[in-house]
A = this chain, B = another copy of it.
Amino acid sequence: MRKNPIFQRETLGAAVLQVRSGRSTSRTTLARALGISPSTTGLYVDQLIADKYLNESGLNQGPMGRPRRILTTQADAGWFAGVEFNAQRIQAVGVDFSGGLKMSVELILPAEVLADQVIKSILSCVARLAATMEGPLLSVGLGVPGLVDAQAGVGLSYAFIPDWQQVPVVEKIGSTLNVPVILQNNLRAIALAERWFGRGHELNDYVILGPRSGFGIAMVQEGRLIEGARHAAGEVGRWPWQPSEGAESSQELHHALSAPATWRRLAGLGPRAKLPEDLRAGLAEVAGKEGAEWDAVCTDFARVVGCLQLILDTGVFILHGPLTVLGERFCHAITETACVQMPALRGTGLKVVPSTLGDNAGALGAASLAMEAWSPA
């Protein structure tokens, strides 16, 4: 072996990612995935094993030939924090080095919370995780609502926290915790969660549908998030929109298709009807409905999805947020309606599916950010 080889941090990080994701389980497959030679890969793996980031866990016999020496990540090598918030609450998760979800924390924010308070609360959430998680904290991912400059590490704006303007989040959090902090818009973080914890496993192209208080989407093309020149890609909610039922005055899409609006429409209530305590529960009640309201809502969703499919050609749309309680039936209805209404969609493999991740998808996505950004010291 070489005496004191100095390795490229990025390559070490990429190797760990490959192993953690399960895409590469042996030195040879890892070499192919990373695009470096088998000999070099061997050295890198040796180093990572020596540093207790990876270990060998048995053999994997292929149909023939020498069996692969299975590489796995060492779960106790440290942990990642993933934090997501909006104006109501903070959600945080602790994930071990193998990518296993170990702990989950929620914190309700007071009404009319301000930016500084949010930052403090985030730190206290991470501290709560740290009390239980074993090993050192390796990095923190943050899913931030509103406009985010991921590269600069700055939260640009968010409608529901008035002074959330140009907040240097990475600096504020990072200087306290002394670990790398990675920022991303929370919906785009969810897209990463889907890749690590959900259905996006084998997918390189998909769209996250995020109808919540508004309606945003996150797009993944060839494995990369689409951010937009000004970090504002995916603002479908602001499309002009005329709901398919009744020729009301035209408005913006989120007035018709946000989670609350969808509930009101499905429940047959007016646009000012009071929301139930628990929106998910309310939605669950109307999930089995049929009739004109149901059809109208499906038609509207189908129109959005169809239009997106025609532009982006991604094929898979993953529904997130409260509306997932409407279940497969809802998603299936959208897919069907879209193909009926827009013949051009036939044969495009269009498919809408509900996410299998729960309410903490955003936090999981943030943890994914942390994992993807980490590389050994």
| Contact A313/B235 with A221-B226, A226-B221 known, Cβ cut-off 8 Å | yes
> Given that A240-B342, A342-B238 are contacting pairs, would A230 and B348 also be in contact in the complex, using a CB cutoff of 8 Å?
yes
Q: Which residue of B lies closest to A342 (CB)?
A: B240
Q: Is the CB of A311 within 8 A of B217?
A: yes
Q: CA A222 – CA B231 in complex, angstroms?
A: 12
Asked whether B229 lies within 8 Å of A315 as measured between CB atoms, the reply is yes
Given the contacts A221-B226, A348-B230, A349-B230, A235 and B205 also touching, CB distance less than 8 Å? no
A313-B228 in contact given A238-B344, A342-B238, A344-B238 (Cβ < 8 Å)? yes
Chain B contacts for A160, CB-based, 8 A: none
Copies of this chain, whole number: 2
Least Cβ–Cβ distance between A313 and chain B, in angstroms: 3
CA distance A233 to B308 in the complex (A): 10
Cα distance, A344 to B239, chains bound together (Å)? 8
CB of A94, distance to nearest CB on chain B (Å) = 32
Which of the residues B204, B221, B229, B311 comes within 8 Å of A234, measured between beta carbons? B311
Q: Is the beta-carbon distance between A228 and B341 smaller than 8 angstroms?
A: no
Contact: B310 with A239, CB < 8 Å? yes
Whether A205 contacts B229 in the complex (CB less than 8 A), given A310-B236, A310-B238, comes out as yes
Chain B CB within 8 A of A127 CB: no
Name the interface residues of A246-262: CB closer than 8 Å to any CB of B. 252
Q: Does A307 contact B (CB under 8 A)?
A: yes
Residue of B nearest to A235 (CB): B310
| A 59-97 to B, binary, CB cutoff 8 A, 1 in contact else 0 | 000000000000000000000000000000000000000
- B contact residues around A306 at 8 Å (CB): 239-240
Interface size band for A: 35 or more
A275 within 8 A of B: no
* Complex interface: chain B residues within 8 A of A348 (CB): 230, 232
Give the one of A217, A231, A235 with max B CB within 10 A: A235
**Binary per-residue interface labels of chain A (186-218) against chain B in the complex, 1 for a CB within 8 Å, 0 otherwise:** 000000000000000000110000000000010
Bound form: Cα–Cα A58–B37 in Å: 41
Q: Determine whether A312 belongs to the interface, using a CB cutoff of 8 Å to chain B.
A: yes
Contacts A205-B229, A228-B205; is A344 near B235 (CB within 8 Å)?
A: yes
B-facing residues in A84-134 (Cβ within 8 Å): none
Contacts of A311 in B (CB 8 A): 217, 219, 233-236, 308, 311
A231 / chain B contacts, CB cutoff of 8 Å: 313
> Are B341 and A240 closer than 8 Å at their CB atoms?
yes
A233 to B315, CA, bound (A): 10
A121 CB to closest chain B CB, in angstroms? 30
- When the two chains form their complex, are residues A312 and B238 in contact, meaning their CB atoms are under 8 A apart? no
**CA of A306 to CA of B308, assembled, Å:** 14
Q: List 24 A-B contacts (CB under 8 A).
A: A205-B228, A205-B229, A221-B221, A221-B226, A221-B228, A222-B227, A229-B313, A229-B315, A230-B315, A230-B349, A233-B313, A234-B313, A235-B310, A236-B310, A236-B311, A238-B310, A238-B342, A239-B306, A239-B307, A240-B306, A240-B307, A240-B342, A307-B307, A311-B311
6 shortest interchain CB distances as A-B pairs: A228-B313, A238-B344, A205-B229, A233-B313, A232-B313, A235-B310
Chain A residues engaging chain B, CB cutoff 8 angstroms: 204-205, 217, 219, 221-222, 224, 226-236, 238-240, 252, 303, 306-308, 310-315, 341-342, 344, 348-349
